[in-house]
Homo-oligomer: A and B are copies of this chain.
Amino acid sequence: MLKVGVVGATGYAGEEVIKILVRHKGVKITELSAVIDKEEPISSIFPAFKGLLDLMCYKPDPEKMSGNVDIVFLALPHKVSMNVAPVFLKAKKSVIDLSADYRLDQDVYKIWYGIEHKDKGNIASAVYGLPELYHDRIKDAKLIANPGCYPTGAILGIAPMLSAKAIDKGSIIIDSKSGVTGAGRKPDLALSFSEVNENLKAYKVNEHQHKPEINKILSQVAGENIDVIFTPHLIPMNRGILSTIYMKLNKPLDTKGVIDMYRKFYSGRPFVRIYDEGKLPQIRDVVFSNYCDIGLKVTGNTLIAVACIDNLKKGAAGQAVQNMNIMAGLDETEGLI
């Protein structure tokens, strides 16, 4: 039985990690911490856990926590994780970081997050936790940079074509629509119900911090430099990201041919489902699940891919547990189906 800790237990991703692990057969949650006013049982903070997990949640204390865990999930804001991860790594504990802190090269990180990285020693050894691309490296990793929610769907929706060099590399446009939990659990006027409901907006157009992450991974897949156009939108729903992706084919392919390429690329991967010709995924097909569902359509020389995930599952906590399963030699789908 793996002993697991969660740092940042009171955010949406932290809550979701707990929700999964409470029903997971291979682990036991032993430690919880969060920035809170006073120590209290997690079931008092989230009454949904009453009777399921009444463990005390205490204030951040990585040293203490590292004494009683085998693996730790850092469900922390960006710029915070990099101060916490080293404590666990030094104590020889495995770390799955759900923030952006270990996803980018340190130079790119500085540009997009505006500060010098605090843990340059570990950044190079972090493995990007997208199992559909990096399964073997994840197996042996001690530090996982768990992918961002937007990058997960976007990368999975594009990788097969770039890998096959079947699209014009400068043609990629990602138009993403996200539910509100993707923005985190915090007081913020812009996220308040009356501002978001019956509203819809594009934001950080082509300058969202997930763009360099998408570019980095797609460049690795393509073996050459990729620079996408990326527009995120905020949608009045709690969970889910749907990305509509436009790519220019550089060879004659029809929808059926493209579907075959995607199915081959993701063969054996339990959490990617490619839809039949004429069908497209919706958020309701993936919400609360760890699946990434992808539908494809060729029109002229344009390929339109629609990729759907639940931002808190495949886009955060579910993928984090998937990574843990791989690292621990468990069934990759344990707790996730």
* Bound CA span A237–B240, Å: 16
A 227-239 binary contact with B (CB < 8 Å = 1; else 0): 0010101011111
Query: 22 A–B contact pairs at CB < 8 A?
Result: A47-B273, A48-B284, A51-B270, A175-B175, A185-B189, A185-B192, A187-B187, A187-B189, A197-B237, A198-B238, A198-B239, A198-B240, A198-B283, A199-B237, A200-B235, A200-B283, A201-B282, A202-B242, A206-B299, A229-B302, A229-B304, A235-B235
Question: Which residues 189-240 in A have Cβ within 8 Å of B in the complex?
Answer: 189, 191-203, 205-206, 229, 231, 233, 235-240
List of B residues within 8 angstroms of A173 by Cβ: 173, 246
* Bound CA span A236–B283, Å: 11
* Bound CA span A195–B284, Å: 8
* B237 and A244 contact, CB distance less than 8 A: no
A194 with B177, Cβ < 8 A, contacts A189-B186, A280-B202 known: no
A333 to chain B, nearest CB (A): 10
Kindly list the 7 A-B residue pairs having the minimum CB-CB distance in the complex, ordered from nearest: A201-B282, A187-B187, A193-B196, A47-B285, A175-B175, A180-B193, A199-B284
* A199 and B283 contact, CB distance less than 8 A: yes
* B194 and A192 contact, CB distance less than 8 A: no
A13 to chain B, nearest CB (A): 12
List of B residues within 8 angstroms of A101 by Cβ: none
Q: Does A12 contact B (CB under 8 A)?
A: yes
A175 with B244, Cβ < 8 A, contacts A192-B188, A237-B198, A289-B48 known: yes
Binding site for B on A (CB under 8 A): 12, 23, 46-48, 50-52, 173, 175, 177, 179-181, 185-189, 191-203, 205-206, 229, 231, 233, 235-240, 242, 244, 246, 270, 273, 275, 279-289, 291, 293, 297, 299, 302, 304, 306, 337
List of B residues within 8 angstroms of A197 by Cβ: 180, 193, 197, 236-238
